[in-house]
Structure 1
Amino acid sequence: MYVPTMSRKLADLGNQFDTDRVLRSYLKRMCPPEMYAAIKPDLQALGEKTGGELYDLQLQDRPNTPRLVQWDPTGDRIDQIELTDVWQRVLPMVAEHGVISTAYERENGALSRVHQGALAYLLLPASDMMGFLLATTDGSIATLLRSGNEPLIDEVVPHLLSRTPDTFWTSGQWRTEQSGGTDLSKVDTEARYEDGEWRLYGHKWFTSSTAANMAIVLARPESTNDQGRAGLSLFYLPIRDNHDESPADGIRVNRLKESMGAKKLPVSEVTLDGAVAYPVTELQNGTRHLTPMVDRARMWNALIAVSSMRRGLALARDYARKRKAFGTPIIEKPLHYDTLADVQATFEGAFHLTFRFVELIGKEENDALSNEEQHLLRALSPLAKLITGRQAVEVSTEVIEAFGGSGYVEETGIPALLRDAFALPLWEGTTNVMSLIALRTLRRDGRLEAVHNEIKRCADAVDTPALQHAMKQAQDAFKAAVQWLADTLEHRGEKALEAGARRFAYTIAHALEAALLIRHAQWAIQDEGRRPIAVAEYFTAKGINHIARRAHYDGYMLAKDFNRQSLFQSEAPIDTGSQKAAL
């Protein structure tokens, strides 16, 4: 008789706070002792749930996806979305543990964001990609508070910040239409003033938060003559009071999207046909008011990325302790543990960059940012999002391989790690879009200098020779990126600049990751001995400098697969290696 060799889940997790050396070490460095003592019990309780009951529920609920019920038995249109068991369990926990509200209660001032980041980081891997909805909820709060619209703030924000599940609301942002992409000037959802109310008409092609209670919607008032971005406005759209209700009149859910990953996230196409909405700000320049939303979306994207890396590593590490090959646990095999060490180093660099981003958001909310830190925040916003999204894909790929053939089997839940990770470089702008935004941002006065000074501050804090050697690699990579930018601007033009934007952004982001990781390593040596040095050396050994002196027309030729060099005879590559670095 055939007896299955694997009769249980492939790996166990345990308490995800107690077993997370990186998170605990970071919080001990960042938080005053009394703050750490106060927040630790709740983090431990959440870590126990995410590594225990919620992980078991995720495996049980694995085959299930959200379901759209468009009609009731009598033939009435209801458009109700039935959420998965995991989502129904996690939503109340978001309220109860203050995963949103902690940042705005500000019991610990600017460090309240760090506390919230830790809560989110622990919960997100157990939430089946609910992070996108929590991101837009957080962003909606910040957008409303920044708007100064007091009646709307008084009506809506208490629900979004509630710690009581029955009164807690979530919020979406509805921007994307059939044209897609980042060119918001093409938004054609129209706002019409009818019978004393604003009503929305249009089609939102991709909404990742249809199950929310409300949404911040981008629409064009019919009275505007501006058909570009400046003619768009932000509107508050009430959707439902409770998550199990039908949407408000004038909102039709046409279908749920069938996506490659994030299958538990109810992504849908929505038609707005006279839905009542309320202006958030003046009836123009709506995209300018989205900065708080965009920054928090990028912050949450990075948090989802680093928490998913941590989840994959925890599973792979436990499996490697249990799985034997030729009589020996594979965690003892040199190539296997070397591979996991590489993945661990990638994760830790991403972790420290993400939480530096979180720190700066917290300081901004508490009016504690210096002018230089404001420049640094603007630089980190696209950089943290783009690099951690790509690293999540890299790490999840290695995690699947760490399980061998078992990692390819759907019943284990492991393949979902990779599918879900692919959403992270796409949401809120692809890697190329983020690279161009980063390039544009870093060209502005003060931004590169702020990054330079951040790396220098990290370097000044290091006095261990091995860490100083690793830090020099980060500094050299940053200098190479600045050198390339100056040379390209002077000699090669905008096309060459755009062609190299991704390599430039990768280099700056990796240099920052390395510097922040190494600075923390210097502090952690007192408790952890050789380990912090090892992770710094592993990270820098993977390569930080991605700058390449390529002729952009060679890329054009290869991408289009032709050989017509004569078209570009006037654009001969030059040797800029002797040029001085700008910083």
Structure 2
Amino acid sequence: MPPYMFANRAFCFSSCNAWCRVLRCRGIVACAKMRNQRRNAADFCTTRNPRRACSDGILFQEQPQIGNPYLEDALLRGYLKSHLPAQVFAEVNPDLERFGALVKDEIDPLGRECESQPPWLLQFDAWGRRVDEIVTCAAWKRMKEISAEEGLVAEAYERKHSNWSRIHQMAKVYLFTPASGFFSCPVAMTDGAAKVIESLGIPKYLEEAYARLTSRDAGRFWTSGQWMTERKGGSDVAGGTETVAQELPDGTYALRGFKWFTSAADSDVTLTLARIAAANGQVEEGTRGLSLFYVKLRDEEGNLNGIQIQRLKEKLGTRQLPTAELYLDGATAQRISKEGRGVAAIAAMLTVTRVHNAVTAVAGMRRAILLARDYAVKREAFGKCLAEHPLHMRTLARMEVEARGAFLLTMETARILGMQETQKATEEDRLMLRLLTPVVKLYTAKQAVAIASEALECFGGQGFMEDTGLAILLRDAQVLPIWEGTTNVLSLDVLRSLAKSRGKALDAFFAAAQAKMEPALGVTELEPSAQMVHEALRKLRNFAREMALKGEFTAQMAARDFAFTLARIYGGVLLLEHAAHCDATTVDAYAAQRWCRQDLCPIDAANEGGSYAMNAVSRDADLVFDGWPDPR
């Protein structure tokens, strides 16, 4: 197995505790002393390691390490302590500390094994019989067992902590995801499937499925896929779904069609869309023709249920995850939505999976920063360690501030989801959940890629080497802006949330922002930043009025900037709220101040610059197609 950088903490010299202290210090005054200790330790290691003693042509740098990710994440612990009721925190805190140790000691090595032993497809056995078996490594199978045993899905549905159960679950998923070899993907889709079944009232014929999807028993636990993408690809399921469902005499359906992109193709069950054929074979096109179906992948004898696996996909990242092209050739299925209401039925699933996408994004940011932080006190350049270079520390600080805002945006969305699930949400909360879900998903996904790219620079050339295990940070992050809706698709979804609520969702946004910032207005060091957010809110409100007058054309041009403005403003609001809490630190206050110094309302600057003028689209086209042969 390649010597991945994510190995467990292991040092061959006794001065390692000094390095651990450096990781927790606020300043860098100890770096010179640590550097001398490191040289002595390196000399000691050389005498013990013949390979290092023969140093010609061998690069030697100390690898970055991560210990218990829960104990190393001050923001996560601070957030839970300040938001959870005391009794809930008292129960959740030791569970997460224990789970963090499990991540370090067992899950992390398993994740590396999943990366080094990716899945492969056995289409035919030695005698020519088609078997279509996706072969996964033992580590991948163990990840499924751990997901069940740790309740990575079950925690949200047991509701032992009422509405706070979602926060507990997402905190565990946050710790699990970057070490999981992307088993977090089937966890997300399983959670989404359970949510759909629960939203349907758990009908009797789905009771077993729901029980298995939310089980803590590794022997009973099922994972679910999500098969929505067909040959035309993309998020336009209304225009791209060609799979046809033919009703059978017993009330089940036979599905026929091609599924072009199916993640976690080795799952036990799946949800998929199809068009029901009438007696004459005709189907209804568009959204109204789509119904939602539940499919078991295998029958009682273990044979595939009318499914042929055409091939596994070759991807830039997420190579640990089996993603396949499938042909449904009479797969037996049960319709679980009302006829023609398939898209409406998956709305609850999309909310859950988009929140998971955001959790994956912020977890990846945190992993990258923890590694870069550790490396900063180990790597020496130009006569001193990286942590003594002010520009490097400023770069890490920028990454940290971005990760903090993204984390709070994600957890706030998960908090409201938990309230909705336990019937504690107000109408304003429900409007905020509908608005924030696409905003948080699109924003955190884009920032995850940026942070991963910046992190690789922190390691110099080592960040570009596959055998260090660092490149995976960027490769896997790149899928996040694409899954569950691209940035532009989700930006338009933000507009739909406003249109469908007749502007009430935006009213709820303004009201929530004002209420959450109120405590910060009484704190001297936070008040200037709160005023910056107030000014950004004023500009946003003015633009929203202007957008309403100009109509849909302007709104669509501005949709992306509008969504990013919502994210930046609300990120500032949440950082201020967190910094104003009685348990907050000076670091929390500084993070809020740093966030609020950026342009919180980019849509205003773009508008002033004429970006949304009526001729902007034609000028954009001229720019893009400059030099392109005129198709006319």
In the TM superposition, what is the alpha-carbon distance from 1:47 to its structure 2 partner?
0.8
What is the DSSP-based 3-state SS (H/G/I as helix, E as strand, rest coil) of the residue aligned with 2:160? Answer: coil
What does residue range 277-426 of structure 1 map to in structure 2 within 5 Å? 277-426=333-482
What is the DSSP-based 3-state SS (H/G/I as helix, E as strand, rest coil) of the residue aligned with 1:500? Answer: helix
- Counterpart in the other structure of 2:321: 265
Give the one of 512, 532, 546 matched to 1:473: 532
Indicate conservation of the 8 Å contact 2:305/2:331, yes or no. yes
- Counterpart in the other structure of 2:253: 198
What is the DSSP-based 3-state SS (H/G/I as helix, E as strand, rest coil) of the residue aligned with 2:425? Answer: coil
- Counterpart in the other structure of 1:248: 304
- Counterpart in the other structure of 1:455: 513
User: What do the CA deviations read for 1:250-302 (whole angstroms, capped 9, x no partner)?
Assistant: 11111111111111111111000011111112222111111110100111000
Give the one of 546, 564, 576 matched to 1:487: 546
Identity %: 35
Q: In structure 2, how many angstroms separate the alpha carbons of the residues matched to 1:27 and 1:157?
A: 29
Change in Cα spacing, 1:149 to 1:519, as seen in structure 2 (3 Å) is closer
What does residue range 74-223 of structure 1 map to in structure 2 within 5 Å? 74-186=127-239, 187-196=241-250, 197-223=252-278
Indicate conservation of the 8 Å contact 1:86/1:127, yes or no. no
Q: In structure 2, how many angstroms separate the alpha carbons of the residues matched to 1:333 and 1:73?
A: 61
Change in Cα spacing, 1:213 to 1:506, as seen in structure 2 (3 Å) is same
- Counterpart in the other structure of 1:505: 563
Query: 5+ unaligned residues in a row in structure 1: which ranges?
Result: 565-583
Amino acid at match of 2:66: L
Amino acid at match of 1:190: V
Change in Cα spacing, 1:182 to 1:562, as seen in structure 2 (3 Å) is closer
After superposing the two structures, state which structure 1 stretch, 124-133 or 47-56, moved more. Answer: 47-56
Amino acid at match of 2:616: D
User: What do the CA deviations read for 1:490-537 (whole angstroms, capped 9, x no partner)?
Assistant: 2x442222111111110011111110111001116x452x21121112
- Counterpart in the other structure of 2:74: 21
Q: In structure 2, how many angstroms separate the alpha carbons of the residues matched to 1:125 and 1:562?
A: 37
Give the one of 282, 285, 304 matched to 1:227: 285
Q: In structure 2, how many angstroms separate the alpha carbons of the residues matched to 1:306 and 1:395?
A: 10
Q: In structure 1, how many angstroms separate the alpha carbons of the residues matched to 2:491 and 2:303?
A: 37
- The CA RMSD over aligned residues, in Å, is 2.0
What is the DSSP-based 3-state SS (H/G/I as helix, E as strand, rest coil) of the residue aligned with 1:107? Answer: coil
In the TM superposition, what is the alpha-carbon distance from 1:74 to its structure 2 partner?
2.1
In the TM superposition, what is the alpha-carbon distance from 1:476 to its structure 2 partner?
2.1
In the TM superposition, what is the alpha-carbon distance from 1:211 to its structure 2 partner?
1.0
Q: In structure 1, how many angstroms separate the alpha carbons of the residues matched to 2:91 and 2:132?
A: 44
In the TM superposition, what is the alpha-carbon distance from 1:247 to its structure 2 partner?
5.6
Change in Cα spacing, 1:195 to 1:100, as seen in structure 2 (3 Å) is same
Indicate conservation of the 8 Å contact 1:79/1:246, yes or no. no
Q: In structure 2, how many angstroms separate the alpha carbons of the residues matched to 1:241 and 1:26?
A: 45
Indicate conservation of the 8 Å contact 2:176/2:184, yes or no. no
What is the DSSP-based 3-state SS (H/G/I as helix, E as strand, rest coil) of the residue aligned with 2:216? Answer: coil
Q: In structure 1, how many angstroms separate the alpha carbons of the residues matched to 2:298 and 2:314?
A: 24
* Structure 1 runs (4+) greater than 3 angstroms displaced: 1-9, 56-63
Q: Does residue 1:35 correspond to 2:88, yes or no?
A: yes
In the TM superposition, what is the alpha-carbon distance from 1:472 to its structure 2 partner?
2.2
In the TM superposition, what is the alpha-carbon distance from 1:246 to its structure 2 partner?
6.0
Q: In structure 2, how many angstroms separate the alpha carbons of the residues matched to 1:263 and 1:168?
A: 24
What is the DSSP-based 3-state SS (H/G/I as helix, E as strand, rest coil) of the residue aligned with 1:523? Answer: coil
Give the one of 544, 561, 580 matched to 1:522: 580
User: What do the CA deviations read for 1:531-579 (whole angstroms, capped 9, x no partner)?
Assistant: 1121112212233221111225335323443899xxxxxxxxxxxxxxx
Indicate conservation of the 8 Å contact 1:478/1:507, yes or no. no
Amino acid at match of 1:394: A
Change in Cα spacing, 1:7 to 1:167, as seen in structure 2 (3 Å) is farther
Indicate conservation of the 8 Å contact 1:321/1:330, yes or no. yes
Indicate conservation of the 8 Å contact 2:497/2:505, yes or no. yes
Indicate conservation of the 8 Å contact 2:123/2:131, yes or no. yes
Indicate conservation of the 8 Å contact 1:475/1:511, yes or no. no
Q: In structure 1, how many angstroms separate the alpha carbons of the residues matched to 2:305 and 2:591?
A: 55
What is the DSSP-based 3-state SS (H/G/I as helix, E as strand, rest coil) of the residue aligned with 2:407? Answer: helix
User: What do the CA deviations read for 1:157-198 (whole angstroms, capped 9, x no partner)?
Assistant: 111111111111000111111111222223110111234331
After superposing the two structures, state which structure 1 stretch, 84-93 or 279-288, moved more. Answer: 84-93
Change in Cα spacing, 1:559 to 1:339, as seen in structure 2 (3 Å) is farther
Q: In structure 2, how many angstroms separate the alpha carbons of the residues matched to 1:259 and 1:363?
A: 37
Indicate conservation of the 8 Å contact 1:109/1:366, yes or no. yes
Indicate conservation of the 8 Å contact 2:202/2:210, yes or no. no
Indicate conservation of the 8 Å contact 1:80/1:246, yes or no. no
Amino acid at match of 1:556: S
Change in Cα spacing, 1:85 to 1:405, as seen in structure 2 (3 Å) is farther
Amino acid at match of 1:542: Q
User: What do the CA deviations read for 1:23-82 (whole angstroms, capped 9, x no partner)?
Assistant: 100110111222112122221122112234333444455433211111122222111112
Amino acid at match of 1:180: G
TM-score (norm 2): 0.85
User: How many residue pairs were aligned?
Assistant: 559
Indicate conservation of the 8 Å contact 1:477/1:508, yes or no. no
TM-score (norm 1): 0.92
What is the DSSP-based 3-state SS (H/G/I as helix, E as strand, rest coil) of the residue aligned with 2:145? Answer: helix
Change in Cα spacing, 1:341 to 1:225, as seen in structure 2 (3 Å) is same
After superposing the two structures, state which structure 1 stretch, 356-365 or 58-67, moved more. Answer: 58-67
What is the DSSP-based 3-state SS (H/G/I as helix, E as strand, rest coil) of the residue aligned with 2:220? Answer: coil
In the TM superposition, what is the alpha-carbon distance from 1:440 to its structure 2 partner?
2.2
Q: Does residue 1:429 correspond to 2:485, yes or no?
A: yes
In the TM superposition, what is the alpha-carbon distance from 1:411 to its structure 2 partner?
0.6
After superposing the two structures, state which structure 1 stretch, 348-357 or 50-59, moved more. Answer: 50-59
- Counterpart in the other structure of 2:49: none
Indicate conservation of the 8 Å contact 1:478/1:508, yes or no. no
Q: In structure 2, how many angstroms separate the alpha carbons of the residues matched to 1:366 and 1:136?
A: 21
